[in-house]
Amino acid sequence: MKTDQAPILVWFRTDLRLADNPALTAAATATAQDGTPVIPVYIREEDGGDPWLPGGASRWWLHGSLERLGKALETLGSPLVLRSGDPATVLESLVEETGAQAVLCNRRAGPSAIARDRRVGKRLTARGVTVHPHNAALLYEPGTIRTKSDTPFRVFTPFWKALLSMPEPPRPTRAPSGLTPPAKPVSSESLKDWGLRPTAPDWAGGLRARWTPGEEAARERLAEFLDGPVAVYATERDRPDHDGTSTLSPHLAFGEIGPRQIWHAARHAAAQRHELASGAEAFLRELGWREFNHHMLREEPDLPDTPLDARFVHFPWRKDESALHAWQRGRTGYPIVDAGMRQLWRTGWMHNRVRMIVGSFLIKDLLIPWQEGEAWFWDTLVDADIANNAGNWQWVAGCGADAAPFFRVFNPILQGEKFDPEGDYVRRFVPELAKLPSRWIHKPWQAPDGVLREAGVRLDRDYPRPIVDHGAARDRALAAFGHIKTSGD
Ligand SMILES: Cc1cc2nc3c(=O)[nH]c(=O)nc-3n(C[C@H](O)[C@H](O)[C@H](O)COP(=O)(O)OP(=O)(O)OC[C@H]3O[C@@H](n4cnc5c(N)ncnc54)[C@H](O)[C@@H]3O)c2cc1C
């Protein structure tokens, strides 16, 4: 095998897997054909003014994901090279050091990532190096699903119908069986030195207890979910007390599994066992929302910062640090909101129904800008995803594409009673209310004194009273909305 050939750099980003990784597959094909060496690289981007660098929980996940990817690549024969800095500069110096002829990568979502890719492309092409980005993160490339009048979809259902009428997404490719390493080893930084995991204080105990990052864990979780739980997904997905969803979102956010793998595996499972079919379709429809948000972000690069509905630019938001803090810490006095925010803080994840409830509470009951919620989620979610986070926050606020109308204000008591009827979810994350009977668990301040005493709940001392009265807050939100409606029209 010749190893004096110019190597290919495979630049990993949010595609931390070996299977169904088009950039890696292309490089592995070259290895298999003529022994071209392959150098896998991950670049830690330090700053560069990008407001959407990974938050705390994502950094924790990234460490585990890179650790596992590193081991897997080592087994294939070509170790992962870790470097820090501006990607264009780092890749230029790697080209210089190794004589690489090409850089292969998979596209990343987000306006700063796209701008960065353009810069990298320009600088490397000027040196005669080929740069080839692929699609690993989506079922279809953004821009390929459009309305009949060739405009982007703004409403989900027709987008989903159009997606379903496309040719099936390509079948996922297998992980390569081996890679040729470069003739001379390439120096790498040490993952341990990157400080991605917290030490003092070490706040990640709950994350460690809950999650196993990496491609293998993602594959196992998908298999487990499709082996049974998916059957009741359509009816259970809104129940935070039942853990009825796939919890694949962090694996998807880091690209440890790709949507095409999920798509084909779910369709295959449904074809084998008909009782899974309706659950599998409902599950894929949610993956369709992910696709919708990502396609929209490509068309609307300001989505993470600016409301799509321009009237909301002048919305009379409130600045209230103490209410924001109570929301972040799960001390609002509304048990379903507090359970969700504490689930997020403890495990880096929150059930989708509860994300909608806490989002509505922040935006409508507290009148705090959705961007504050988006930023907090960005820092604390292990599945933080720029398109899904921005798209969903705008959706909850009523200013995004196909959004819930602003005047639909979730009542946190009724939502709790409907989706956590026995209060089991609240009991899990708000232990100071654990002994309250279900009848009062979503409204402890209305419980008779004797009930509270028996349950050992001292309001104000163990658990706060509501920081706002929902009825009054709802009226205030509608008045604020009425104001922009009239002033913006
Ligand atoms: C305010 C708010 C912020 C959110 N921020 C994020 C985020 O940063 N990252 C993120 O991945 N999701 C986000 N979501 C969407 C959703 O809550 C999560 O994707 C879902 O809870 C993940 O759990 P799961 O993997 O068990 O989902 P499942 O129900 O098993 O769904 C499978 C997959 O479909 C996708 N999906 C499911 N629901 C949605 C949705 N509403 N929008 C887009 N894609 C969806 C996800 O990739 C998910 O992993 C947010 C939702 C809200 C209301």
pLDDT (tens, 9 = 90+) of the chain, 489 residues, equals 445 689 999 999 999 999 999 999 999 999 999 999 999 999 999 776 778 899 999 999 999 999 999 999 999 999 999 999 999 999 999 999 999 999 999 999 888 888 889 999 999 999 999 999 999 999 999 999 999 999 999 999 999 999 999 999 999 999 999 999 999 999 999 999 999 999 999 999 999 999 999 999 999 999 999 999 999 999 999 999 998 999 999 999 999 999 999 999 999 999 999 999 999 999 999 999 999 999 999 999 999 999 999 999 989 999 999 999 999 999 999 999 999 999 999 999 999 999 999 999 999 999 999 999 999 999 999 999 999 999 999 999 999 988 778 889 999 999 999 999 999 999 999 999 999 999 999 999 999 999 999 999 999 999 999 999 999 999 999 999 988 876 645
Regarding whether 479 and 365 lie in a shared domain, the answer is yes
Residue 40 sits at φ, ψ, to 5 deg, of -80, 135
Regarding whether 167 and 82 lie in a shared domain, the answer is no
Q: Rounded CA gap, 487 and 489, in Å? A: 6
Look at residue 124 and tell me if it is in a domain.
yes
Q: Rounded CA gap, 65 and 218, in Å? A: 11
For this structure, is 411 an active site residue?
Answer: no
Look at residue 178 and tell me if it is in a domain.
no
- Among protein residues, the one whose CA lies closest to atom 24 of ligand 1: 247
Residues linked to residue 44 through DSSP beta bridges, in sequence order = 84
HSE, CB side, 13 Å, CA atoms: give it for residue 132: 13
For this structure, is 393 an active site residue?
Answer: yes
For this structure, is 46 an active site residue?
Answer: no
Q: Give residue-wise pLDDT tens across range 95-105.
A: 999 999 999 99
Q: Give residue-wise pLDDT tens across range 119-172.
A: 999 999 999 999 999 999 999 999 999 999 999 999 999 999 999 999 999 999
Closest C-alpha among 250, 211, 241, 235 to residue 388: 250
Regarding whether 149 and 74 lie in a shared domain, the answer is no
List, as one string, the DSSP characters of 74-111: HHHT-PPEEEES-HHHHHHHHHHHH---EEEEE---SH
| Ligand 1 atom index nearest CA of 250 | 11
Ligand 1 centre to CA of 392 (Å) is: 8
Q: Which of these three, 259, 279, 299, is where a domain ends?
A: 299
Ligand 1 centre to CA of 355 (Å) is: 9
For this structure, is 432 an active site residue?
Answer: no
Of 97, 352, 411, 445, which is the active-site residue?
352
Regarding whether 144 and 54 lie in a shared domain, the answer is no
Look at residue 341 and tell me if it is in a domain.
yes
Regarding whether 143 and 131 lie in a shared domain, the answer is no
Within 330-480, strands assigned E span none
Regarding whether 469 and 326 lie in a shared domain, the answer is yes
Closest C-alpha among 302, 257, 363 to residue 19: 257
Of 393, 395, 417, 440, which is the active-site residue?
393
Ligand 1 centre to CA of 249 (Å) is: 6
Ligand 1 centre to CA of 384 (Å) is: 9
pLDDT at 48: 67
Of 11, 61, 263, 370, which is the active-site residue?
370
| Ligand 1 atom index nearest CA of 249 | 49
User: Tell me, what CATH number does 152's domain have?
Assistant: 1.25.40.80
List, as one string, the DSSP characters of 38-62: EEEEEEE---TT-TTS--HHHHHHH
Q: Which helix (H) or strand (E) holds 473?
A: helix 470-488
User: Tell me, what CATH number does 55's domain have?
Assistant: 3.40.50.620
Look at residue 185 and tell me if it is in a domain.
no
Q: Are 158 and 45 in contact (CB under 8 A)?
A: no
| Tally of structural domains, the chain | 3
Regarding whether 290 and 247 lie in a shared domain, the answer is yes
- Considering Cα of 22, then 28, then 33, then 38, what sign does the dihedral take? positive
Q: Which of these three, 264, 299, 334, is where a domain ends?
A: 299
DSSP state of 276: G
Closest C-alpha among 263, 250, 251 to residue 291: 263
For this structure, is 378 an active site residue?
Answer: no
Q: Which of these three, 136, 159, 187, is where a domain ends?
A: 136
Tell me if the bond preceding 181 is cis, omega within 30° of 0. no
User: Tell me, what CATH number does 435's domain have?
Assistant: 1.10.579.10
Ligand 1 centre to CA of 2 (Å) is: 46
**Tokens linked to 348:** 């880096």
Look at residue 451 and tell me if it is in a domain.
yes
Look at residue 203 and tell me if it is in a domain.
no
Q: Rounded CA gap, 150 and 132, in Å? A: 27
Look at residue 189 and tell me if it is in a domain.
no
- Whole domain around residue 52: which residue ranges? 8-136
Look at residue 289 and tell me if it is in a domain.
yes
Name, in order, each residue with C-beta under 8 angstroms of 213's C-beta and a sequence gap of 6 or more.
61, 63, 64, 65, 68, 250, 251, 254, 256
For this structure, is 317 an active site residue?
Answer: yes
Tell how strand 38-44 and strand 130-134 pair up: unpaired
Q: Give residue-wise pLDDT tens across range 441-455.
A: 999 999 999 999 999
Regarding whether 415 and 374 lie in a shared domain, the answer is yes
Regarding whether 318 and 293 lie in a shared domain, the answer is no
Please work out whether the CB of residue 352 comes within 6 Å of at least one atom of ligand 1.
yes
Q: Are 20 and 136 in contact (CB under 8 A)?
A: yes
Regarding whether 219 and 77 lie in a shared domain, the answer is no
pLDDT at 402: 85
Regarding whether 228 and 101 lie in a shared domain, the answer is no
Closest C-alpha among 15, 144, 268, 251 to residue 25: 15
Q: Residue 161 burial (CB < 10 Å; 0-12/13-18/19+)?
A: exposed
pLDDT at 1: 44
Regarding whether 427 and 291 lie in a shared domain, the answer is no
